[in-house]
Amino acid sequence: MRRRTAAVEREHREHREIRRGTEGGLDVADVGRTGDTPVAAAIGLDVGGGAVKAGTVVLTSGGTLTGTDVTGTDVTGTVSPGGGGSAIEAAETRIEHQVESDGDALSALCAAIARDQYGGLRSRWPGLPVVWGVSAAAWIDPHSGRSVFSPHLGGWRDRALPQDLARALSDLTGLPMAPGEASGHASGAVPVPSVINDADAAAWAEARLATSAGRRDRMVLVAIGTGIGGALVRDGAVDIGEHGMAGEFGHMTMDPAGPPCPCGNTGCWELLVSADALAARAGRASARAAIDDALAGDPACRDAVAGTGRWLGRGLATLAAVLDPGRFVIGGGVATAGELLLAPAREELARHLPGGRRRPLPSVSVATWGNRSGWVGAAGVALERAGWPVRSLATGPATSPAR
């Protein structure tokens, strides 16, 4: 374990791309100036196929969530009991395929990232209680945090993730594991993290912290990256289903004669709409390259994005027929194509939704939190599970935990 941990740490250092924004986010002095008192901090990690995104949130008593996000864009929101504030700092680490398929190595990588974030929090906010939350591209048992299955994280199938992760962080830091269940915290010990599905985390962030948050509506989140993650939000709460596995929209069969999917099915929706599908359609090395070229006006890449948008719209029509949401929020890296993707999706949604020309249509928009929503949601849910309610941006009563 030690040797593997050292190798993973080295990889972590080599591949880490810390993209801090201007001045690295809000610091102690800034929070002091706004009159806020920090009450707790949370580390959020978002473990997807290909990358771990991570960041920290400091929950304060005063009112405004302000800081600098992973891409350097200022974010504003409100968290905390009685209105709070937060400092956000984030990093992104690429995962090698080898690590992705080795569960111990993946847990050790996450622990190394968390330890760095802990270090930053400890030096800036000494004595502040810290919890951590992990969102994963996996189907998570809502009671135990155990991963049931994951098409994209081969090493994290059927694992007791909260305990695995706490043990890995304990190994790295030499600190004992804190007694008790997920989301507890204790000074001088490693708390067990809360672990949730990545799309549920993203939906939580969109529903509770986005600028339009607080609307008691029915929203469906569709996050498009390596695969498609999904979640249904009703009245501000994520509906995780009877077994915690609702929202696996990416594995709706769109073409029974289509190619095989890592989930074991064929012709799944995500095979037609994912980042890889877009890259292949555009003849580019990555979806990022395809989207950048499309935004710069390349006709072939624009066609590829539009074609992806049409498949997106067909799937949204099926979801709208079943769920009748007020809005679809599209997240993940592919959503950065914006209207080039969404306009064709809306047309196809109206065309294929039964009665689509005669009934109210759900809106289709890009997620406010974009690629940050997974780790922000994981951190927020961890705070709530540990007993620190997080308030939405809109004025209103503090709400109970999302699940």
Number of other residues whose CB lies within 10 A of the CB of residue 73: 10
- CA 367 → CA 241, 268, 326, 332, distances in Å? 22, 23, 15, 8
Q: How far is the CB of 261 from Zn ion (least distance, A)?
A: 3
Amino acid at 172: L
Q: How far is the CB of 151 from Zn ion (least distance, A)?
A: 6
# residues contacting Zn ion (CB under 5 A):
5
Select 61 or 265, whichever has its Cβ closest to Zn ion: 265
Of 13-21, 71-79, 99-107, 258-266, which part binds Zn ion (CB under 5 A)?
Answer: 258-266
Q: How far is the CB of 260 from Zn ion (least distance, A)?
A: 9
| Closest by CA position to 114, among listed 196, 178, 170, 182 | 170
The DSSP secondary-structure symbol of 68 reads: E
Reported in sequence order, the residue ranges of 36-154 that DSSP labels E, i.e. its strands, are 38-48, 51-60, 65-68, 74-77, 88-94, 130-136, 139-140, 147-149
Question: Which long-range contacts (C-beta less than 8 Å, at least 24 apart) are formed by 23-26?
Answer: 23/68, 24/68, 24/89, 25/67, 25/68, 25/87, 25/88, 25/89, 26/66, 26/67, 26/68, 26/85, 26/86, 26/87, 26/88
Pairing mode of beta strands 147-149, 139-140: antiparallel
Tokens for 387, please give them: 């007993």
Q: How far is the CB of 226 from Zn ion (least distance, A)?
A: 12
Q: How far is the CB of 263 from Zn ion (least distance, A)?
A: 3
Of 87-95, 100-108, 249-257, 325-333, which part binds Zn ion (CB under 5 A)?
Answer: 249-257
Tokens for 200, please give them: 């549920």
Taking the C-alpha atoms of residue 375 and residue 56, their distance in angstroms, rounded to an integer, is 9
Residue pointed to by tokens 């994520």: 238
- CA 19 → CA 70, 113, 303, 403, distances in Å? 6, 14, 31, 32
SS3 364: strand
Select 63 or 267, whichever has its Cβ closest to Zn ion: 267
Q: How far is the CB of 227 from Zn ion (least distance, A)?
A: 8
Select 265 or 399, whichever has its Cβ closest to Zn ion: 265
Select 142 or 262, whichever has its Cβ closest to Zn ion: 262
Question: Which one of 251, 284, 302, 385 is in contact with Zn ion (CB under 5 A)?
Answer: 251
Select 167 or 314, whichever has its Cβ closest to Zn ion: 314
Tokens for 28, please give them: 């102690």
Of 197-205, 246-254, 273-281, 385-393, which part binds Zn ion (CB under 5 A)?
Answer: 246-254
Select 273 or 317, whichever has its Cβ closest to Zn ion: 273
Q: How far is the CB of 377 from Zn ion (least distance, A)?
A: 23
| Closest by CA position to 244, among listed 152, 344, 333, 136 | 136
What are the φ/ψ torsions at residue 231 (nearest 5 degrees)? -160, 150
Q: How far is the CB of 47 from Zn ion (least distance, A)?
A: 19
x/- mask, Zn ion, residues 259-288, rule CB under 5 A, reads: --x-x-x--x--------------------
Q: Does 61 bind Zn ion (CB under 5 A)?
A: no
Select 268 or 282, whichever has its Cβ closest to Zn ion: 268
Q: How far is the CB of 251 from Zn ion (least distance, A)?
A: 4
Q: How far is the CB of 265 from Zn ion (least distance, A)?
A: 4
Select 92 or 270, whichever has its Cβ closest to Zn ion: 270
Select 151 or 193, whichever has its Cβ closest to Zn ion: 151
Select 192 or 271, whichever has its Cβ closest to Zn ion: 271
Chain residues in the site for Zn ion (CB under 5 A): 251, 261, 263, 265, 268
